[in-house]
Homo-oligomer: A and B are copies of this chain.
Amino acid sequence: MKQLSTNDTNFTQAFAAILSQRENNTSSVSEQVREILTEIRHKGDTALFAYTQQFDKVAISETTLRVKDTEILDAWNSLSSSLREALILAAQRIESFHKTQIPENIKYTDQAGVLLGMKWLPLDAVGLYVPGGKAAYPSSVLMNAIPAKVAGVKRMAMCVPTPAGQLNPLVLAAAKQAGVTEIYRVGGAQAIGAMAYGTKSIAPVDRIVGPGNAYVAEAKRQVFGYVGIDSIAGPSEVVIIADAQNSPQHIAMDLLAQAEHDEMAQSILMTDDESFAKQVIEEVYKTLIDLPRAAIAKTSWENHGAVIIVKNWQEALELVNQIAPEHLELMVEHPKTLFEGVRHAGSVFMGHLCPEAIGDYVAGPNHVLPTNRTARFASGLSVFDFLKRTTFMETSANSLRRIGPAGVTLAEAEGLHAHAASIALRLKDLDPLP
């Protein structure tokens, strides 16, 4: 863990080091992934089943590839009622928030008499990737599937690897709650290839979303353009701006909640109170010991954690806007005022009583967020990821007369004479003005 103060003489370099240490690089697996994708594309199911045998040590066939409806139902019934109720509450709240994102179509006739507009339409088919094993999170299933459902996507296909045959019933239960029933037990680059190009057993989709390991990320990068993808997820991160009014224990737990994700996760505390910072650091080490994922959290905190003493919140905001964090907690007295100055962040958690974990599960906004400084240009998953826009226009005789000649001039200037003529011919053939 690094301790910095904006007063340090070498602060700029030390802060830059924190920013640059965690870049994603999947190019080392790119050749292997290219080969897998080519095989899937040309050999379909045969290649898909062979890779699944090779990587997941599972023999699957056309008849066992798809998870049966009874398995999904059994998984749902195997949950405790409190867990079922929690999944239902989370799903309802996620659905409710994402419904507020549904955008309006545009349609109007402008002053020149041209009808103009833009129509939002859902994608036909979406592929949801869910990692297997320890990182198989039911909350991620909800967060990926529900926005697609709200957008009006008719077909949602899910791929989840079952290493050594194991499949987390919570993942199946979450899929059921989100309305996903087309689930295949395959994963890795081969699953991405199958969803992108289609095989005999898996019909192709139009966009693939969901997190995965380096192979999955590189496969998504390579199929991008043939299908749509969401952003390439990197390690998760949080910045917490906290005043000394917070319980050090609360803030320490928030830092550790981020750190327990994986060894590459990053937790950064910014505070204006040096003794509060010391208390939090003490609490982190004290609490760490008892966590089931203590080893992961400790590695993350020691390698990537940071505590930065700032002179004031304005200074903190400037640093935040350079980091563009995935998660930002504003644990201060007037979080809304501070929020006004945030230019780049995936999601913001305001006030002493709103830890980031609330947003991971039950608040409603999406927890699939831009990592690794990409909040500079990217956004969390949303209904917009499952919609697309079609623009449209109609010119009348009069409006063509008003705007057509400028079109002819520009087309001629670009040397595109058929473009120009397609407008000019129609202008010529119009009846003379009355």
Contacts and interface: CB of A to CB of B under 8 A. Distances in A.
Contact of A89 (B353, B370, B376, B406): B406
Given A253-B425, A392-B350, A411 B360 contact: yes
27 contacts: A24-B225, A82-B409, A83-B413, A85-B406, A86-B409, A93-B110, A100-B108, A103-B103, A115-B350, A123-B376, A138-B410, A138-B414, A225-B374, A247-B429, A250-B426, A250-B429, A253-B418, A260-B416, A293-B418, A335-B394, A346-B390, A351-B395, A353-B397, A354-B395, A357-B420, A375-B390, A378-B388
| CB-based closest 9 A-B pairs | A228-B377, A365-B391, A86-B406, A379-B389, A350-B394, A355-B422, A86-B409, A256-B418, A357-B419
Given A87-B410, A89-B406, 10 more contacts: A86-B409, A93-B403, A100-B106, A121-B343, A207-B377, A225-B232, A350-B394, A351-B395, A354-B394, A362-B404
A221 B345 CA distance: 24
A101 B346 CA distance: 22
Contacts of A423: 355, 357-358
Contacts of A82: 409
Contacts of A87: 410
B365 A293 contact: no
Nearest to A111: B96
A45 interface: no
A93 B116 CA distance: 11
Q: Copy number of this protein in the oligomer?
A: 2
B293 A358 contact: no
Contacts of A250: 422, 425-426, 429
Contacts of A100: 106, 108, 116, 118
Give the size range of A's interface with the partner. Answer: 35 or more
A353 B426 contact: yes
Interface string A260-302: 1100000000000000000000000001000111000100000
Interface of A: 23-24, 27, 34, 82-83, 85-87, 89-90, 93, 96-97, 100-101, 103, 106, 108, 110, 112, 114-116, 118, 121, 123-124, 134, 137-139, 170, 206-207, 221, 224-228, 231-232, 247, 249-250, 253-254, 256-257, 259-261, 287, 291-293, 297, 335-336, 339, 342-366, 370, 372, 374-380, 382, 384, 388-397, 400, 403-407, 409-411, 413-423, 425-426, 429-430
A407 B357 contact: yes
Contact of A257 (B86, B357, B377, B416): B416
A78 to B, nearest CB: 12
Contacts of A380: 389, 391
Nearest to A170: B413
Given A254-B422, A376-B206, A400 B358 contact: yes
Given A138-B410, A403-B363, A342 B390 contact: yes
A259 B390 contact: no
Q: Is the interface of A mostly helix, strand, loop or mixed?
A: mixed
A378 B106 contact: no
A423 B90 CA distance: 15
Contacts of A83: 409-410, 413
A423 to B, nearest CB: 5
Contact of A291 (B27, B115, B417): B417
Contacts of A365: 116, 118, 391-393
Contacts of A287: 418
A90 B418 contact: no
Contacts of A114: 363-364
Contacts of A400: 353-354, 358
A247 B421 CA distance: 13
